[in-house]
Amino acid sequence: SQQGEEDPQALSIQEGENATMNCSYKTSINNLQWYRQNSGRGLVHLILIRSNEREKHSGRLRVTLDTSKKSSSLLITASRAADTASYFCATGDSGTYKYIFGTGTRLKVLA
Amino acid sequence: GAVVSQHPSRVICKSGTSVKIECRSLDFQATTMFWYRQFPKKSLMLMATSNEGSKATYEQGVEKDKFLINHASLTLSTLTVTSAHPEDSSFYICSAPQVNVNTEAFFGQGTRLTVV
Q: How far is CA A7 from the centre of its chain?
A: 10
At residue B15, the pLDDT reads 97
Return the pLDDT at B76: 96
How big is the A-B interface in CB pairs under 8 Å? 61
**Residues A91 and A32: beta-carbon distance below 8 Å:** yes
Give CA–CA dist A84/A39, Å, rounded: 9
Q: Cβ contact (<8 Å) for B93 and A40?
A: no
Q: CA–CA separation, A79 vs A31, rounded Å?
A: 26
With 70 as the cut, is the pLDDT of residue B103 above it? no
Do residue A43 and residue B110 have CB atoms under 8 angstroms apart? yes
Burial class (CB in 10 A: 0-12, 13-18, 19+), A43: buried
Which of A49-53, A75-79, B104-108 shows the lowest per-residue confidence on average (mean pLDDT)? B104-108
Write down the pLDDT at residue A2.
63
Work out the pLDDT band at A29, boundaries 50, 70, 90: confident
How close A101 gets to chain B, by Cα (Å)?
Answer: 6
Q: Tell me which residue of A58, A60, A51 sits closest to A95, measured CA to CA.
A: A51
pLDDT at position A94 is: 63
